[in-house]
């Protein structure tokens, strides 16, 4: 039996209409491996001639991360991995590049939903909404609930002004903030800045009343916010993270919360999720969500559609529409 043109490692749950149409044109199969070791074995046998892998996060529980070790065992004929996710830290893209395997991800498709959650977390942290709701349910009305703070007149600092960060700026523009400032690897064009002010990293830390994290996780951003960075921040700062948990050192965040440096933290991502630090769970000034940034029907459909669009581009044009930043140079004419 010949190998499929596309191997699905994970699942397609939302863009099933597009998937059904593609099955009529191309040979597409779901992987059947029941463990990481079985998948490695299958890659050297029945999947050895597969040129494209569609990967979604659900496969993590079976085959684990696409780290250097697993990448070294991927099918010999593999050319592309189309990944269903904006953050791709579970794939060793350097190891892939070394094998000339190109990787795509799903930026833009996640911007609206993730920015919505960031805005929700900011407002919850400002107004202490969840703690107040819990208080009411426990029959205490407002007794013991801390006073809130208004977002009006505050400085919002956006760390990472990609699509999500820029969308958050739009979401928060109706709250009469004093200023929206951002730090990025490079300054945006005037068209993309749209009223935001570019500042260096330390200036953002020192002058922001609210800091929202939107940078990808890589070697340079792991524990980007650590003990030293918290000492630079304003007293009573609000921290929100909808990017990746490991961008913030959670132990340092707990310390900053406990000594009052951080007024409140709103987190949708964690260092070792789904394991949560006891220091965060026990702190009533934390708003904690179970990684629901893209957990909407519409966003999941948009993400899967973009992955399938990348898949078709790989099959028909030998290219990718949205390669990961580290691989864009391979697609320059």
Contact 214, 161 (CB under 8 A): yes
305: Cα separation from own chain's centroid: 18
DSSP secondary structure, 138-177, as one string: TT-TTTTPPP---STTPEEEEE--SHHHHHHHHHHGGG--
- Give the C-alpha separation, 76 to 51, whole Å: 8
99 is catalytic: no
User: Roughly what angle, to the nearest 10 degrees, separates helices 297-317 and 111-127?
Assistant: 150
Q: Which of 36, 171, 223, 291 is catalytic?
A: 291
244 is catalytic: yes
Cis peptide, bond prior to residue 274, ω within 30 of zero = yes
- Give the C-alpha separation, 86 to 98, whole Å: 22
- Give the C-alpha separation, 55 to 308, whole Å: 11
Q: Which of 105, 166, 214, 244 is catalytic?
A: 244
Q: Residue 169 has which token pair?
A: 């700026």
273 is catalytic: yes
Give every CB contact of residue 16 below 8 A, 6+ residues apart in sequence. none
- Give the C-alpha separation, 4 to 8, whole Å: 10
Q: Which of 36, 171, 223, 273 is catalytic?
A: 273
- Residues acting as catalytic residues: 244, 273, 291
């Amino acid at each position: 039996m010949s190998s499929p043109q596309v191997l699905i490692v994970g699942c397609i749950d939302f863009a099933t209409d597009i998937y059904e149409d593609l099955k009529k044109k191309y040979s597409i199969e779901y992987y059947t491996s029941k463990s990481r070791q079985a998948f490695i074995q299958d890659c050297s046998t029945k999947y050895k001639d597969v040129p494209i892998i569609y990967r979604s996060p659900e496969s993590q529980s079976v085959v684990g991360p696409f780290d250097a070790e697993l990448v070294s065992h991927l099918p010999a004929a593999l050319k592309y991995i189309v990944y269903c996710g904006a953050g791709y830290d579970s794939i060793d893209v350097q190891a892939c590049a070394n094998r000339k395997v190109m990787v795509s991800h799903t930026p833009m498709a996640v911007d609206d939903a993730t920015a919505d959650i960031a805005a929700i977390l900011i407002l919850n942290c400002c107004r202490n909404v969840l703690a107040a709701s819990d208080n009411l349910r426990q029959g205490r009305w407002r007794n013991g609930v801390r006073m809130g703070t208004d977002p009006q007149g505050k400085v919002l600092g956006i760390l990472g002004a990609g699509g999500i960060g820029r969308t958050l700026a739009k979401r928060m523009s109706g709250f009469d903030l004093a200023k929206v400032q951002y730090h990025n690897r490079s300054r945006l064009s005037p068209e993309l800045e749209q009223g935001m002010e570019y500042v260096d990293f330390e200036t953002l830390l020192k002058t922001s009343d609210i800091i929202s994290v939107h940078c990808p996780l890589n070697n340079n951003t792991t524990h980007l916010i650590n003990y030293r960075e918290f000492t630079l921040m304003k007293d009573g700062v609000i921290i929100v993270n909808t990017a990746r948990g490991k961008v913030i050192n959670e132990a340092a965040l707990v310390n900053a919360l406990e000594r009052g440096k951080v007024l409140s933290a709103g987190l949708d991502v964690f260092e070792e999720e789904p394991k949560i630090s006891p220091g965060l769970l026990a702190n009533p000034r934390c708003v904690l969500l179970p990684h629901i940034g893209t957990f909407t029907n519409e966003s999941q459909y948009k993400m899967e559609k973009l992955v399938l669009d990348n898949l078709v581009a790989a099959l028909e044009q030998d290219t990718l529409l949205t390669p990961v930043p580290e691989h864009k140079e391979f697609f320059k004419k």
